[in-house]
């Protein structure tokens, strides 16, 4: 865990000194949200908030941090003394980890003095963006497998040690059944899994001897790797011979394929195993798997029981990053010094114009308990139930829809108050369970791998009017 407050962009510190010198370290509210779904998908999975809260509680400048800042020649001694005492003292409202989320809705709302909010920006985006990306990727893979057994095998391809640990944590929340990362298994109470490497097979005179040796040591957890030399001509034949010896001891076994035409080879291997009297022997596969490949194999009824996924799961594969951003939503009026007033970023691109003010996110439900839409409201608004209400598109003013909700759930809940956690920490299993429950309530049209339906994120009439007032020039900006 990085707890040094130097883990921030340099310009945050220069701006912080500017706020301090101009006596503008006033109250503010920031939103963290993201702009588009990764992987051209229809949903994302929110992850990283629990370790983030733990880090924020300890986020501070050490004596060596202050000494380093002195060497830059930029910061005044009195400001550095101010930083020595820095500790986040504000409030954080957040969605629960594992929640299915959509673009342009606040995932976190941070209340605090502008300096402390600014210094947290890098930490917040670094943590939430990466873990949400990996949790989302894993959930797509898990759904593509029809909620099958997915093993996360990505340690050696992850971006550094912290990347590997964070990716394993997020992958478990997203649906991975276990990990090859032993340290992450210990730290996060995630099941650890593994088979054997080609080097084990190559270290013996024959595949049969290699399989026999492993089965002797681990008779209840034996998985034979078939493709060190030739899957069908030697690998599966050796596995059957060794498997018969295990069967005589009352044990079963599994096999793994790590190369070649997975569909063809797994089908042929299944035939050979069944013919030899091993219908219960499981087949697991690996080798650069993606959700698209897995979905194709599943749709073609390929006889695969579990999946080992590494590179594409823990790196995000085709998507380099989650598009999370951090924007000022409300600030203190200089003429008053007390009251928070809405703030809004303008842009020539309508989708980059932010939604002003302190907001709540409401999830509307259909009568059958599935999600209908997410609604952004002013924080002091309530959503009327069983009453037809008109809601408005956040950037296309001419688009709207009307709906009478049977149930409306507020998604942003206070998790930190006055710089301290005020809700019990969710376990990783609770976050995973939240993900599963959320996906069960999301219509299949939003979960398609290709061309998913676009979920509605809309504004209440009051929030829309607030935004239009800015656009019409009725408020300062």
pLDDT in tens, 19-42: 999 999 999 999 999 999 999 999
Angstrom distance (rounded) from CA 308 to CA 156? 13
Rounded to an integer, what is the distance from CA 189 to the centroid of its chain? 18
24, containing H or E segment: none
Q: Are 332 and 405 in contact (CB under 8 A)?
A: no
Residue 380's closest CA among 405, 407, 360, 408? 360
Contacts of residue 102, defined as CB under 8 A and 6 or more positions apart, other chains included, come to 37, 43, 44, 374, 455, 457
Kindly tell me the burial class for residue 23, based on how many C-beta atoms sit within 10 Å of its own C-beta (0-12, 13-18, 19 or more): exposed
- Chain segment 368-427, per-residue pLDDT in tens: 999 999 999 999 999 999 999 999 998 887 899 999 999 999 999 999 999 999 999 999
Q: Are 45 and 143 in contact (CB under 8 A)?
A: no
Contacts of residue 117, defined as CB under 8 A and 6 or more positions apart, other chains included, come to 28, 29, 30, 90, 110
Whether residue 476 has pLDDT greater than 50: no
Per-residue pLDDT, 37: 97
Say what the alpha-carbon torsion angle 309, 315, 316, 320 is, to the nearest 10 degrees: -160
- Chain segment 92-133, per-residue pLDDT in tens: 999 999 999 999 999 999 999 999 999 999 999 999 999 999
Stretch 46-52: mean pLDDT: 98
Per-residue pLDDT, 335: 52
Beta strands in 323-421, from DSSP E residues, in sequence order: 324-332, 340-342, 359-365, 371-378, 389-392, 400-403, 407-410, 413-417, 420-421
What are the strands of the beta sheet with 389-392, ordered from one edge? 400-403, 389-392, 456-459, 371-378, 359-365, 407-410
Per-residue pLDDT, 353: 86
Angstrom distance (rounded) from CA 120 to CA 343? 19
Helix residue ranges per DSSP H, 189-343: 198-202, 207-217, 236-248, 262-275, 291-299, 311-314
Angstrom distance (rounded) from CA 93 to CA 258? 45
DSSP 8-state secondary structure symbol assigned to residue 352: G
Over 225-238, what HEC string results? ECCCCCHHHHHHHH
């Amino acid at each position: 865990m990085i707890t040094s407050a130097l883990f921030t962009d340099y310009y945050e510190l220069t701006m912080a000194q500017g706020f301090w010198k101009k006596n503008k370290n006033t109250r503010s509210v920031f939103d963290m949200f993201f702009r588009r779904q990764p992987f051209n998908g229809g949903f994302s999975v929110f992850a990283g908030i629990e370790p983030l809260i733990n880090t924020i509680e300890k986020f501070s400048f050490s004596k060596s941090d202050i000494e380093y800042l002195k060497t830059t020649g930029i910061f005044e001694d009195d400001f550095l003394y101010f930083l020595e005492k820095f500790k986040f003292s504000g409030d954080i409202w957040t969605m629960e980890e594992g929640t299915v989320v959509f673009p342009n809705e606040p995932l976190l709302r941070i209340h605090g003095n502008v300096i402390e909010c600014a210094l947290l920006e890098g930490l917040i985006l670094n943590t939430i963006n990466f873990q949400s990306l990996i949790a989302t990727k894993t959930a797509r893979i898990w759904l593509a497998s029809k909620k099958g057994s997915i093993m996360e095998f990505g340690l050696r391809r992850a971006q550094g040690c912290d990347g590997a640990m964070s990716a394993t944590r997020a992958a478990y929340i997203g649906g991975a059944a276990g990990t090859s990362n032993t340290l992450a298994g210990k730290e996060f109470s995630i099941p650890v899994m593994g088979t054997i490497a080609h080097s084990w097979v190559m270290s013996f005179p024959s595949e049969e001897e290699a399989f026999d040796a492993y089965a002797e040591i681990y008779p209840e957890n034996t998985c034979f790797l078939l493709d060190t030399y030739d899957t069908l001509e030697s690998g599966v034949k050796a596995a059957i011979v060794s498997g018969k010896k295990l069967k005589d001891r009352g044990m079963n076994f599994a096999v793994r394929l790590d190369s070649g035409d997975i569909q063809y080879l797994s089908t042929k291997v299944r035939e050979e195993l069944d013919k030899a009297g091993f219908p219960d022997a499981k087949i697991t596969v690996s080798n650069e798997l993606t959700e698209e490949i897995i979905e194709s194999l599943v749709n073609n009824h390929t006889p695969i029981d579990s999946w080992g996924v590494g590179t594409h799961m823990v790196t995000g594969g085709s998507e380099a990053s989650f598009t999370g951003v951090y924007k000022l939503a409300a600030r203190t009026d200089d003429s008053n010094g007390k009251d928070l007033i809405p703030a809004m970023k303008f842009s020539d691109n309508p989708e980059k114009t932010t939604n002003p003010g302190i907001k709540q996110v409401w999830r509307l439900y259909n009568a059958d308990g599935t999600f209908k839409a997410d609604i952004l409201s002013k924080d002091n608004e309530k959503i009327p139930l069983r009453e037809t209400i008109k809601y408005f598109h956040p950037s296309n003013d001419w688009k709207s829809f009307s709906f009478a909700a049977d149930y409306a759930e507020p998604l942003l809940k206070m998790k930190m108050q006055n710089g301290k956690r005020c809700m019990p920490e969710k376990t990783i299993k609770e976050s995973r369970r939240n993900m599963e429950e959320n996906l069960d309530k999301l219509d299949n049209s939003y979960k398609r791998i290709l061309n998913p339906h676009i979920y509605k994120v809309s504004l209440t009439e009051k929030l829309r009017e607030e935004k239009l007032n800015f656009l019409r020039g009725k408020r300062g900006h």
